[in-house]
Amino acid sequence: MPLRLRKFIGMILLVLLVVIYAIVAMIVAVRTLGDQPGWVQFLYFAASGLIWILPAMGIIKWMAGPRPQ
């Protein structure tokens, strides 16, 4: 697969990941954190704000792909 096509597909996947992840994280927060103390909400949003990086790293590594020799 050409590198430019791989980067284009990866860009679309990253945008979809961020949008879908944000919606799911908001739905989970609304349904479960309504009456929780502030520190629990902080921990949830801190964790959910960082967890999306793991799948994004995989997509970015795939986008870089093996360099043609």
- Tell me, what amino acid is at 8? F
Q: What is the mean pLDDT of the chain?
A: 92
Closest to 17 measured CA to CA, from 68, 60, 47, 46? 60
pLDDT digits (tens, 9 = 90+) for 48-68: 999 999 999 999 999 988 766
Least confident residue range of 11-15, 42-46, 61-65: 61-65
pLDDT value for 69: 63
What lies within 8 Å, CB to CB, of 63 at 6+ separation is 6, 7, 9, 10, 11
Q: Do the beta carbons of residue 6 and residue 62 sit within 8 Å?
A: yes
Q: Do the beta carbons of residue 32 and residue 45 sit within 8 Å?
A: no
User: The whole model's pTM is what?
Assistant: 0.80
